[in-house]
Structure 1
């Protein structure tokens, strides 16, 4: 059968190379005692820095791929009205337990963010590790989501694997990823890549994450980038 008629049909066809598997992520989050750095209940150091310097101010926020909710809860504690979205029901169960312990005013939704009606507009879209797990063709969907839900004057924050760094993500070219049928654990991005992808937004700050020691109240790993953009 000839199924391709729209751009969305093409995107769904390409999804077959790299399925977004909720069951895999449920298994990933099932063992809470695994030594995974971002399982800690600490906000990203760059997020803390943005708020401390006044680069972000409280408003309505979307935590995209929120996982167990560590940044969601930090945003709520600092005056944001926050919606957290994740593919994994297991991650959101954990996030809900954390929210109940703190009494945070947050709302969690489970599902594919590209298919959900998220409402909006948002003053902030925060993404700690979702973007670098997307297949190349889904950057189109990601930019469409940002365009649909980020308000004028709002900010987009993305953290992910940095190119040119040991123990970071894959630097395999996009076309070769389809030949191999694998995202190789996640994609690394250079500063030039990020400026190209988010060319319609204004760059506010683009840097590597700072390395935070175990005893720090903040999360930071130097193999990750931290990018702050504004929609003018």
Structure 2
């Protein structure tokens, strides 16, 4: 994280923080798909997908390459501009959306909503993931991946606030009527500083 932007929860919730992060370097992320997304999505039938917090677009572009119709949403206009350029270079079409995900409630219905490493305080985590689940049509899937509390890694010499991390079981509480869902993945993967919570649930057909 930028050294002139302290890693506090309040700072990390503001657009200015993320613009400063992305503007610090020409590219922050690798551009490659997150491995847990690839693992969890490869067996799903492509449909319409929403990549929440899409950043520079690596996951959204991978989904588009594999037959999905994709919306990518992020708070950072710098990240979205890079994602749009990367999508053009890859020869895929993605609808890039500038949204404050903390307050946005998706208007459309999706066959997949993916939230990769979206670390929020508990109350906001509940609101965002509940809204994500509500946007999934019958037969569609919610995929949430984040760092487990077992993975208290440092970033630029700073340790993120522990409240931003979660265990996969927590996500079941955000589905609404749990009887309408089938939890297909709920586990931690990796070890040490690379321990991730991986959660995927499918909304049952009516």
Range into which the TM-score falls when normalised by the shorter chain: 0.7 to 0.9
Q: Which of the residues 4, 14, 29 maps onto 1:21?
A: 14
Give the equivalent residue in structure 2 for 1:32: 25
Instruction: For 1:80 and 1:68, locate their aligned partners in 2 and report how far apart those are by CA, in whole Å.
Output: 18
TM-score, structure 1 length as denominator? 0.70
TM-score, structure 2 length as denominator? 0.78
Are 2:133 and 2:175, in contact at CA under 8 Å, matched by a contact in 1? no
1:191–1:118 CA distance, 2 compared to 1 (3 A): closer
Q: Which of the residues 120, 136, 150 maps onto 1:164?
A: 150
Cα RMSD after superposing both structures = 2.7
1:64 and 2:67 equivalent? no
Aligned residues: 187
Q: Which of the residues 183, 188, 192 maps onto 1:208?
A: 188
Instruction: For 2:25 and 2:162, locate their aligned partners in 1 and report how far apart those are by CA, in whole Å.
Output: 20
1:222–1:104 CA distance, 2 compared to 1 (3 A): same
Instruction: For 1:125 and 1:60, locate their aligned partners in 2 and report how far apart those are by CA, in whole Å.
Output: 9
Q: Which runs of 5+ in 1 are unaligned?
A: 1-16, 170-182, 212-220
Measured against aligned partners, the alpha-carbon deviations of 1:106-158 in whole angstroms (never above 9, x if no partner) come to 0101121354463321000011112x2x2222234224412431111110111
Give the equivalent residue in structure 2 for 1:46: 36
Are 2:122 and 2:163, in contact at CA under 8 Å, matched by a contact in 1? no
Structure with the greater alpha carbon radius of gyration: 1
Q: Which runs of 5+ in 2 are unaligned?
A: 1-8
Instruction: For 2:162 and 2:74, locate their aligned partners in 1 and report how far apart those are by CA, in whole Å.
Output: 18
Instruction: For 1:83 and 1:42, locate their aligned partners in 2 and report how far apart those are by CA, in whole Å.
Output: 17
Are 1:76 and 1:104, in contact at CA under 8 Å, matched by a contact in 2? yes
How big is the shift at 1:168? Answer: 7.3
Measured against aligned partners, the alpha-carbon deviations of 1:132-188 in whole angstroms (never above 9, x if no partner) come to 2x222223422441243111111011111112234279xxxxxxxxxxxxx727622
1:194 and 2:182 equivalent? no
Moved over 6 A (4+): none
How big is the shift at 1:66? Answer: 0.4
How big is the shift at 1:196? Answer: 4.0
SS at match of 1:18: helix
Higher strand share: 2
Instruction: For 1:40 and 1:107, locate their aligned partners in 2 and report how far apart those are by CA, in whole Å.
Output: 21
